[in-house]
Each structure stands twice: as C-alpha cells, then as structure tokens.
Structure 1
C-alpha cells in the first residue's frame, strides 16, 4: 500500500514540474494605423513590421493586416509583455494602440508611408 501511495505521489509531482516548465504563449492584436496603401509592395511598412518585430525577444510570429491596420503578435509571456511589444512597434515608427510612434523610427519610414 505504501509503495502505491508513493508511486501516485511521484506521478503527481512529475506532473506539477512538467506543468511549471510549459511556457505560456499568448496572442495580442494591436492597432497600428498606417496611411500607406501599398505596404506589402515597398516592404517598409507591413513587411518591416513583420520582419523586424519578429526578431524581438519573446516574439514567435507577427502578422500585419493591411485592411484592418492591425498587427497580430504571438508571444511568450515569460519573455515579453504587451507593453514591450507596443514599445517595439513604436520604435519602428508606428503607433501601437495608445503608444505613439517614436519620432526616430517614423523618420526612417519611406515618404510614401508617412501620409504626407
């Protein structure tokens, strides 16, 4: 009987350790207004968001939706936060929800992508 209880306790303990090691993945969609009407062509808007943001720590995937002007990001919660993702988008020169585009990042975008 004691061996059975010990075996069950061992199994339960390994399940807890396994569950704690499992990384947590989340998805967030962030409003990224963009005046460019050809961002997939010139690759300085949507392409830049997907390529460069995809290199940021904790990001698994990035998809820019030109029609909705949103960026959907799949990320690891132990490595980054939604606030950090918004900051990274801002540094690339785009507004990210309520976070305004970083002036230096905005300056790096092509003239046709600035709405002006």
Structure 2
C-alpha cells in the first residue's frame, strides 16, 4: 500500500511539474529583421504609434521593442494566442518588412517620407 501511495504521489508531482513547465513555454520572444530608414521611428508620430500602441493591441503580443540601429523588432508574445507568422503579417500591414514577409505596398505608401527609402 505504501508503494502504491508513493507511486501515486510521484505521478501527481510529475503531472504538476510538467504542466508548470509547459505553461512557461507559451511566452516566447522573437527578434524580427526589418528595414528602417529613419533614426527616430520610436518617437515618430506615425511609426512610433504603430509599434508602441497598435501592434501591442494585436492578440497575444505583450511587448514590442524597436531597435532602429540594428533594424530589428523584438516581440514578446503568448504562443497560445498568436503565431510568429501572424505577428510578421501585422508588421507588414504597417508598411515594414518582417523577415521574409515584405511590406504591404499600400501601407508602405502611407508611411511618412522620412520612413521610406
């Protein structure tokens, strides 16, 4: 009986540990390569707003950090609520490249002139 009880407690402990470990892996960080032509996108009324507010409204996105020098967008997201491909598509709809996904041409034309090549 003691062996059965120990086995049962061990089994329950393993399930609890695996659920905790699995839950922690749903928060992911991705660094997405883009092309930025100006040095003030974070502060730009048009571009900064898109990254700091609009992209954060996308389901599952928890943090966005734009690095103009490295030309990257760091995104922290919940993989249960969104996918990396969905995030890249949202960025392209703002007029920016997102890794292999090219900027939407219509959105690109809507960018401020300083943000275009």
Confirm or deny a common fold (TM above 0.5): yes
- Structure 2: how far apart are the matches of 1:6 and 1:97? 49
1:11 aligns with 2:1: no
Bigger mean CA deviation after superposition, 53-62 or 7-16:
7-16
- Structure 2: how far apart are the matches of 1:98 and 1:13? 40
Give the TM-score normalised by structure 1: 0.81
Number of equivalenced pairs: 115
1:34 aligns with 2:36: yes
| Cα shift at 1:76 | 0.8
Q: Which runs of 5+ in 1 are unaligned?
A: none
Given the alignment, which residue of 70, 73, 78 partners 1:71?
Answer: 73
Counterpart contact for 1:36–1:45, Cα < 8 Å: no
| Cα shift at 1:44 | 1.9
| Cα shift at 1:109 | 1.4
Query: RMSD in angstroms over aligned alpha carbons?
Result: 2.4
2:51 corresponding residue in structure 1: 49
Structure 1 stretches of at least 4 aligned residues deviating more than 6 Å after TM superposition: none
- Structure 2: how far apart are the matches of 1:4 and 1:98? 54
Bigger mean CA deviation after superposition, 2-11 or 51-60:
2-11
2:23 corresponding residue in structure 1: 22
Give the TM-score normalised by structure 2: 0.80
Bigger mean CA deviation after superposition, 94-103 or 38-47:
38-47
1:101 aligns with 2:99: no
| Cα shift at 1:100 | 0.6
- Structure 1: how far apart are the matches of 2:18 and 2:99? 37
